[in-house]
Amino acid sequence: MDEVLLRSLTPSVITVLVRRGADFAAAEDAVQDALVEALRVWADNQPRDAKGWLVTVAWRKFLDATRADVARRRREDRVEEEPAPNPASAVDDTLQLYFLCAHPSLTPASAVALTLRAVGWLTTRQIAAAYLVPEATMAQRISRAKRTVSSVRFDRPGDVATV
C-alpha cells in the first residue's frame, strides 16, 4: 500500500468526479469512501491502474450516495404528503360500555361478570374465582351475555332510537 500514491491521486480523482457532474462536497465524500475501500482491498493486491480504480470506485460510491439521497428525499416527501391522522374522538365511550353491560336483558350475575370482563379487564379465571364457580362455567356465562347484547345498538349520542 503506497500512501504517498493515494495522497497524490486524490486531487485528480476529485477533479474527474467534479468534471462528470458531481458537486465538490459529494465528490470529496465519494473519494474518501473510495480511499477507505482502497485501504481495505489494496492490502492484498494493488491494481495496475490505481487512478482508474479510484475513479471507478469513487464514481460508484457517488452514484450510490446520490441514489440513496434521492430515495430518502422521496420517502420524506411521501411522509410530508400523508394526510394528518384524524383527531382522536373526544367522546369517552366507557359510559356507553357500562350501559351495554347493564342491559336489562342480562341477568344481574351475567351483567356484573360482563362488566368485570369488558370494563375491568379481569380474566375469566379471576371472575370465576370471585364467583366461586369453575372457569368453564364463567366463560359460558360471559359468552351468553355477549351474545345477548350483540344485537343491542347504541347509535349516535342523542339519537332517539337509542332511548
- pLDDT of 89 reads 63
By C-alpha distance, which of 152, 140, 147, 139 is closest to 104? 152
pLDDT digits (tens, 9 = 90+) for 81-112: 878 777 766 667 788 888 888 889 999 999 99
In the chain, the percentage of residues whose pLDDT exceeds 70 is 91
pLDDT in tens, 134-146: 999 999 999 999 9
HEC string of 36-68? HHHHHHCCCCCCCCHHHHHHHHHHHHHHHHHHH
Q: Which residue has the cell 480523482?
A: 13
19 or 43: whose pLDDT is higher? 19
Residue 78 has pLDDT above 80, yes or no: yes
pTM: 0.50
What's the confidence (pLDDT) of residue 13? Answer: 93
**pLDDT value at 158 more than 60:** no
What does the alpha-carbon distance between residue 9 and residue 21 come to, in Å, rounded to a whole number? 19
> Can you tell me the distance from the alpha carbon of 145 to that of 105, in angstroms, rounded to the nearest whole number?
9
Give the burial string for 30-64 (b: 16+ CB within 10 Å, else e). Answer: bbebbbebbeeebeeeeeeebeebbbebbbebbee
Return the pLDDT at 91: 66
Q: Is pLDDT of 163 > 60?
A: no
Fold of 94-162: Arc Repressor Mutant, subunit A (1.10.10)
| Residue 160 pLDDT > 70 | no
Domain ranges of the chain: 3-81, 94-162
User: Residue 61 above 70 pLDDT?
Assistant: yes
> Which positions ≥6 away from 51 have C-beta within 8 Å?
9, 12, 13
144-157, pLDDT tens digit by residue?
999 998 888 766 55
d(CA 82, CA 114): 40
Q: Which amino acid is at 34?
A: A
What pLDDT, on the 0 to 100 scale, is given for residue 52? Answer: 94
Q: Is the dihedral of CA 121, 100, 149, 102 positive or negative?
A: positive
